């Protein structure tokens, strides 16, 4: 039997996409050319928005259990701590997960795979995409498994196959961007010293910088920094080449190096994320510096954004135009992210006299001041956690009520946990305050669950409006916000995108 969706690549992006699709009742097939899951930590930061998505499919608890909460940020200059802030204080009341979770990618992938297998889907290993063509009704993919090539028919194909994406190459999509001049190193090591006393440590030096992040419960730390200029041209760079900088900038003593890699960083965004029935997600569509731990989380965000739209179109619960909004929503964010992380990385990593002044002058003065200001700390959490991502310019976004606009992530209200209903992975209406009888009747007729929450100070602080209605998408973003409870506007929105909630479709299906 042909799958509805063929997924190329079984990293976190592909696995998250497969899991959401499977939970939504879509038949999937996921392949990867590697022999097994990754064996190294690679990406480690799991942001609050990703954990919110994971909570919707019952995955957050297992991910949380395997990771380490990073609740504190410390900034050091010339080895001395100059500023400190607690992430829990920065994000309190903004998300159920007011922290960064450190969870090595190899362990992360294994949790995703376990949940995917429970949903009846297994990753097909040592299987590679070698040809791709669109047909009148879908796509035809040729897969190489070491035996006779296999031809697979599917309705859609999703390329989650990384920076060197075969899917992107076969589609002829350009990948413009550039390469940083500096060579970057990443190491996981057992270390000791003041910068290893917990939390995220940003260590600034005259010609270097180094990030120190706890990785595993065994006491391993992630070290991220710049390879000294004298070694940048070497074919093989060893940890011994960067060890003096590690000892000097963060002031660490290294006992054991568990993993080490050095490479040049790229910053690129594909010219488009969709060609017909083929889509690009994750590193296949965008790569950038690791500043802020955004890369993997952005790929997972791509997956969730596309998954519910694919399911709706495949199951007759949404118009094909829904799929057009994947690129418009996600490519805009990808471009903004690449530009911002590029500027941040260039400023922090520069070895010019300007870079030294920036690190030890401007940053060393500004960061302690900024972290003392409540508003600045909150904005920093919103930015890094990805809860600030919005799609206000999307065709899927309409209206506003209070400070919440169509396209915004639904604000979390801690007192009654309004995120719990999002586990349905379905459209729903939220009202904070009094629910009009006509709205209740209309929502029932249209098969849209309506969730009532009492009005309180926390709802007001979150930017919600009393007695307004918010039509919430399956991914937790607001589609339509309306303070006047205009039922004609609700009907118009649903008709425009041919939206049929899963609950209504199940009710109408023959027994």
- Residue at which a domain ends, from 333, 361, 386: 386
Of 39-48, 49-58, 123-132, 251-260, least confident by mean pLDDT is 39-48
The Cα–Cα gap between 362 and 366 comes to 6
The Cα–Cα gap between 413 and 268 comes to 36
Q: How does residue 460 score in pLDDT terms, banded at 50, 70 and 90?
A: very high
Q: Which two tokens stand for residue 37?
A: 């899951």
What are the pLDDT digits (tens) for 215-247?
876 678 989 888 888 888 888 999 999 999 888
Same domain, 378 and 232: yes
- CATH classification at residue 154: 3.50.50.60
Quick one: how far is CA 29 from the chain centroid? 22
3-state secondary structure of 402: coil
| Contacts of 300 by beta carbon, 8 Å cutoff, 6+ apart | 12, 13, 16, 50, 53, 282
Q: Which two tokens stand for residue 472?
A: 């919430």
Q: Is residue 393 part of a domain?
A: no
**What is the pTM for the complete model shown?**
0.93
Same domain, 466 and 484: yes
User: Residues, the chain, total?
Assistant: 511
The Cα–Cα gap between 64 and 60 comes to 6
Same domain, 230 and 304: no
Q: Is residue 440 part of a domain?
A: yes
Q: Which two tokens stand for residue 464?
A: 């919600």
Same domain, 90 and 143: no
Could you list the residue range(s) of the whole structural domain that residue 221 is in?
A: 68-101+180-265+352-386
Q: Is residue 124 part of a domain?
A: yes
Q: Could you give phi then psi for residue 187, rounded to 5 degrees? A: -140, 145
3-state secondary structure of 146: coil
Which residue in 11, 270, 210 sits closest to 123, CA to CA?
Answer: 11
Q: Are strands 177-192 and 253-269 parallel, antiparallel or unpaired?
A: antiparallel
Same domain, 237 and 280: no
What average pLDDT does range 308-322 have in this prediction? 97
Q: Which two tokens stand for residue 128?
A: 């590679």
Same domain, 203 and 234: yes
- Residue at which a domain ends, from 315, 345, 375: 345
Same domain, 198 and 171: no
Q: How does residue 380 score in pLDDT terms, banded at 50, 70 and 90?
A: confident
Which residue in 300, 295, 298, 302 sits closest to 325, CA to CA?
Answer: 302
What pLDDT is recorded for position 504? 67
Same domain, 424 and 499: yes
Order of all β-strands in the sheet with 428-432? 404-405, 398-401, 478-482, 469-472, 428-432, 450-453
Same domain, 500 and 437: yes
Q: Is residue 307 part of a domain?
A: yes
Which residue in 362, 352, 333, 340 sits closest to 477, CA to CA?
Answer: 333
Per the CB < 8 A criterion, the answer to whether 20 and 308 are in contact is: yes
3-state secondary structure of 417: coil
3-state secondary structure of 226: strand
Same domain, 223 and 323: no
Same domain, 365 and 310: no
Q: Is the pLDDT of residue 306 over 50?
A: yes
59, 463, 476 from 429: Cα distances, Å: 24, 17, 11
Q: Is residue 391 part of a domain?
A: no
Domain count, the chain: 3
Same domain, 20 and 150: yes
What are the pLDDT digits (tens) for 179-197?
877 888 989 999 988 888 8
- CATH classification at residue 408: 3.40.30
């Amino acid at each position: 039997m042909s799958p509805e969706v063929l997924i190329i690549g079984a990293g976190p992006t592909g696995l998250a996409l497969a899991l959401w699709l499977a939970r939504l009742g879509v038949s999937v097939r996921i392949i990867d050319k590697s022999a097994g899951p990754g064996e190294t930590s690679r990406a480690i930061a799991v942001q609050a928005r990703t954990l919110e998505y994971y909570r919707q499919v019952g995955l957050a608890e297992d991910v949380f259990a395997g990771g380490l909460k990073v609740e504190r940020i410390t900034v050091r200059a010339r080895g001395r701590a100059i500023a400190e802030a607690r992430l829990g204080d920065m994000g309190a009341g903004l998300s159920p997960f007011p922290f960064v979770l450190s969870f090595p990618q190899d362990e992360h992938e294994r949790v995703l795979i376990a949940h995917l297998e429970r949903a009846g889907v297994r990753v097909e290993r040592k299987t590679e995409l070698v040809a791709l063509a669109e047909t009148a009704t879908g796509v035809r993919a040729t897969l190489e498994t070491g035996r006779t090539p296999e031809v697979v028919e599917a309705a859609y194909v999703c390329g989650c196959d990384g920076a060197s994406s075969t899917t992107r190459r076969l589609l002829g999509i350009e990948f413009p961007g550039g390469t940083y001049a500096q060579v970057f190193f990443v190491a996981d090591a057992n270390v000791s010293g003041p910068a290893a006393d917990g939390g995220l440590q940003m260590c600034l030096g005259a010609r270097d910088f180094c990030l120190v992040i706890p990785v595993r419960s065994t006491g391993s730390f992630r070290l991220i920094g710049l390879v000294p200029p004298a070694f940048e041209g070497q074919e093989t760079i060893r940890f011994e080449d960067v060890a003096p900088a590690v000892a000097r900038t963060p002031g660490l003593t290294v006992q054991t190096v568990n993993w080490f890699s050095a490479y040049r960083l790229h910053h690129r965004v594909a010219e488009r994320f969709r060609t017909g029935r083929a889509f690009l997600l994750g590193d296949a569509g965008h790569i950038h510096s690791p500043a802020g731990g955004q890369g993997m989380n952005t790929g997972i965000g791509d997956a969730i954004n596309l998954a519910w739209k694919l399911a709706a179109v495949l199951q007759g619960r949404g118009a094909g135009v829904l799929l057009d909004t994947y690129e418009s929503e996600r490519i805009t964010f990808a471009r903004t992210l690449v530009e911002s992380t590029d500027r941040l990385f260039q400023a922090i990593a520069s070895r010019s006299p300007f870079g030294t002044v920036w690190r030890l002058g401007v940053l060393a003065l500004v960061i302690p001041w900024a972290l003392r200001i409540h508003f600045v700390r909150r904005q920093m959490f919103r930015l890094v956690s990805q809860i600030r991502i919005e799609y206000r310019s999307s065709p899927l976004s309409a209206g506003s009520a209070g400070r919440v606009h169509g396209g915004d992530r639904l604000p979390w209200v801690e007192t009654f946990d309004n995120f719990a209903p999002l586990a349905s992975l379905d459209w729903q209406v939220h009202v904070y305050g009094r629910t009009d009888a006509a709205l209740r009747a209309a929502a029932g007729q249209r098969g849209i669950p309506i969730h009532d929450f009492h009005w309180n100070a926390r709802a007001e602080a979150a930017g919600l409006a009393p007695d307004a209605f918010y039509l919430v998408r399956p991914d937790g973003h607001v589609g339509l916000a309306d303070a006047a409870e205009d039922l004609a506007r609700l009907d118009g929105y649903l008709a425009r995108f041919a939206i049929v909630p899963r609950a209504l479709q199940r009710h109408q299906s023959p027994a």
